[in-house]
Amino acid sequence: MEASFDTAPCLYFACDDGGRLLDVNETLCRRLGYRRDELAGQPVDLLFTLATRIFHQTHFAPLLRLRGSAEEIYITLRTKSGEELPVLVNAAGADGSTGLQFVAIPLLHRKQFEDELIAARKAAEDALRENTELQRIRAELQAHTALLDEQMSVVERQNEELRQVSRVVTHDLQEPIRKLMVFLNMLREEGPGKPAVLDKVLRVSGELRSVVAGLQQYVWLTDAFCQPADQDLGHLLLLVQQELAAQYPDVQLQVSHGALPPVHGDRKQIHLLFYQLLDNAVRFRSSPTEARVRLAVTRVTHNRFRNLKDRYDFAEYLKLQLSDEGVGFDPAYAEQAFALFRRLHPQSGHGIGLALCRKVIENHQGSISIDSMPGSGSTVTFFLPCTTAGAGAPDPKNEYHEPEAQDHTLR
């Protein structure tokens, strides 16, 4: 029996009341690296680390004196080579003596298990916290979804009403106006009436027809499905210049610019945008026979969010600045210039050109503004998406470098 205990899979040692070792088993000697005769009569503290010695003197020994035994006490033993061996120990008074007996079981992976338990508990607490936060966010999202659905219903009703009004304005009114102009022309040619009065009526009818046509374009931009693609900006400018040369045969339109990168947008809408901008430059020129325009292009990083505070989604845009040398206007009316049917000059058209421009820019998630000064011309600044092909890191100076400017003049 004693031989079996000597090699049992546990560490056994006994000491007297003075803390001197009386007996150890072979298993303890093997695990700690001692011979039995090296431990006989030695202080029991020889087996303890410094931390365990302090714990033994302040807690473990008083507990044994008070209760006579202790179970599952975690301490650390010290091997002969100085390494630490964590163990779980039971201790009790020796039978028929005043000494103590200790039985210890090594816990080589206890620290690892404890760390894993702590990590698992922390992960569980984090998951519970995230789940609570997720439930709160889900409830908020549900409330926002209900509000959004209600708002979408209101918007859908308003859009349907707008579509009904647009059908009346752009279709039902077009035909009566056309017939009115036809009959007025017939009356002017055949009747002996007052030509001056008929001329005024014809002019007003023509203006009304132009207003309806402008509204038709505005409604089209509101309802049109944007089909963005990479557009050759230089080619579009030439087409617009050709149209304006035919419309204003007595005016020389000069457009200068550097290299023009492709722009990503709807072809028809981008064409309309530059037509309206260049038409304004010709219409409000300071010279009776010439209109000069300068187009500058810069590649920038632009925030897509324009109305939400503290929300950012940056993307590469082209910043285009179209400057003319026209008559200009009071900068106090810069924002009003984009209002529908707002006229800033007596010689203005119908006040819809810049409103159409803003609608095109909004359809492309950009922005537009205008700076002007009486007698110093105007500069329209607007942002359009960059081409998707070959999009790489932005230029270190955050701008598109232009080579020597090119001059395109059409008469």
Domains of the chain: which residue ranges? Answer: 2-108, 112-172, 229-410
Element of type H or E holding 206: helix 195-223
pTM metric for this prediction: 0.53
Contacts of 81 (CB under 8 A, 6+ apart): 33
Choose the most confident range, by mean pLDDT, from 55-69, 124-138, 304-318. 55-69
Domain 229-410: CATH architecture, name and number where available? 2-Layer Sandwich (3.30)
Examine the pLDDT at 1 and tell me if it is beyond 60.
no
pLDDT score of 129: 80
Domains 2-108 and 229-410 belong to one CATH topology: no
From residue 366, alpha-carbon distances to 13, 128, 154, 381 in Å are: 83, 42, 26, 11
Contacts of 19 (CB under 8 A, 6+ apart): 43, 44, 45
Examine the pLDDT at 243 and tell me if it is beyond 90.
yes
CA dist., res. 288 & res. 305, Å (int):
43
- DSSP letter assigned to residue 386: B
State the CB neighbour count (10 A cutoff) for residue 104.
23
CA dist., res. 308 & res. 313, Å (int):
11
Tokens 């992976």: give the residue. 109
Residue 127, helix vs strand vs coil: helix
Mean pLDDT of the chain: 80
CA atoms within 13 A on the CB side of 325: 13
Examine the pLDDT at 165 and tell me if it is beyond 80.
no
Across 323-362, b (16+ Cβ under 10 Å) vs e yields bbbbbbbeeeeeeebbeeebebeeebbbbbbbbbbbbbbe
DSSP output for 17-57: TTSBEEEE-HHHHHHHT--HHHHTT-BGGGGB-HHHHHHII
Q: Which two tokens stand for residue 398?
A: 């955050």
State the CB neighbour count (10 A cutoff) for residue 242.
12
Interval 118-137: pLDDT, tens: 888 888 888 888 788 888 88
Q: Does domain 2-108 have CATH number 3.40.250.10?
A: no
Examine the pLDDT at 99 and tell me if it is beyond 90.
no
pLDDT score of 353: 81
Strand stretches in 195-336, DSSP E: 229-231, 252-257, 263-265, 290-303, 314-324
